[in-house]
Amino acid sequence: MDVVIIGGGVIGLSVAESLARRGAETVVLEQGRFGRGASEGNAGWISPGLANPVPGPGVMAQAIKWMPNPRSPLLVRPTPKLSFLRWSYDFWRATKPKRYGAGMAALAALGARVLDDFDRLAAEGVEMEMHSAGLLFIGRSEAGVRSEAQILRDAQALGYLGEIREMNRAETLAHEPALTDRLAGSVLAIDERHVRPETVTAGLVAHLAGGRADLREGVTVRSIAAAGGRWRVEHDGPGEPIVASRVVVATGWQADELLSPLGVKLPLEGGKGYSVTAPTPGIKPKGAMYLLEDRVAVTPFDGGVRLAGTMELGSSDPGLNRSRIAAIKAAGKRSLARWDDAGEVEWAGFRPMLPDGLPAIGPVPGLPGLHVATGHAMLGVTLGPTTGEVLAPTVLDGRVSAELAPFSLARFGNRARQAA
């Protein structure tokens, strides 16, 4: 076996597609069902214009302000875990303007090719529900609209090629009839797209299952160990342990459980997000929208509309928090004309979060043949196919491109022991 990929979400499947297209013999192991977890119920935006780190200037002050409110867009649950306290400190350090700017530049470099990578997947026959209707940022205050417009202009200065258009209240309502009049204006990012994320992973599975890769669901990996210059992957599925030349760990927010026994430092936390998908949405929006003050995404699909949002840190409880769901619904009812949530489907999942807001993509220092692709936070769908394309050459022949340097595991002090 050439490559074992651990994790069957949008990142793992995208890496598998890129490797298989280059002729690598690949097996993908997924402990649950392919495309579940954070890859399933998210907003589905393909948004290179929003490819910026979560820990931005002012985020910590806002988080402290919101802490008493269980329905706030960002909820931090205090926990005595030393690892979370250290993560929070590193998150705070990453909010400094210089570090945030460097992170924006690194993500912008990847974001510049995102749309091309999705077009390539579609051209190769990966079926998915994809819409090219732009992304409308809705503000209830003129200050909020101006702030978002400046963020997008900053992205343009870093290489974002998308066109933006600011609109006043009347222009916004004329453009999007699904809105109520409780707004001051908007900014339209004309070139952004969105997908139904479940269809992306389903399309990748169908594409790979046609003899391009060995896909195994319901298989939990117990451990990874060096084995004479190769890697031995112990699992609970049928058959013997798998021995491969290369391994890619793409298991999301719990990737450190496999990596820490090898001495690898990867400070991941789960950023819990929620969504509500309604099949009969009243007036269906023309395109995706973002409610700036509520921090809620609105995404129209062929079969309904999804509201997604909130960030909950410090909790590992997979259950639905009713206050968080209620806050998302309230935002939808406040901003969408005749919103109808009959038959809604509620969802929660954990986004893999690293404290500096950048994913970890690339080889593990000191452990040849072991690679990581995780920590994409809210950019998993946006950066999925691109992650596969930039990582595949590194996995196959060791070439690490300059654009991967900011995402190296070395930034967490990794100098792991040499593989046997």
Residue 372: in which H helix or E strand, if any? strand 370-374
- Backbone dihedral angles phi then psi of residue 292, each to the nearest 5 degrees: -60, -50
Residue 203: in which H helix or E strand, if any? helix 197-209
Residue 112 token pair: 């510049």
Q: Which residues lie across from 26 on neighbouring strands?
A: 3
Q: Alpha-carbon distance 361 to 153, whole Å?
A: 27
Q: List the helix and strand counts (H, then E) for the chain.
A: 11, 21
pLDDT truncated to tens, each residue of the chain (420 aa)?
A: 699 999 999 999 999 999 999 999 999 999 999 999 899 999 999 998 888 899 988 888 887 788 777 778 888 887 778 999 999 999 999 999 999 999 999 999 999 999 999 999 999 999 999 999 999 999 999 999 999 999 899 888 888 888 999 999 999 999 999 999 999 999 999 999 999 999 999 999 999 998 999 999 999 999 999 999 999 999 999 999 999 999 999 999 999 999 999 999 999 999 999 999 998 767 889 999 999 999 999 999 998 999 999 889 888 888 898 999 999 999 999 999 888 777 889 999 999 999 999 999 999 999 999 999 999 999 999 999 999 999 999 999 988 988 899 999 999 988 745 444
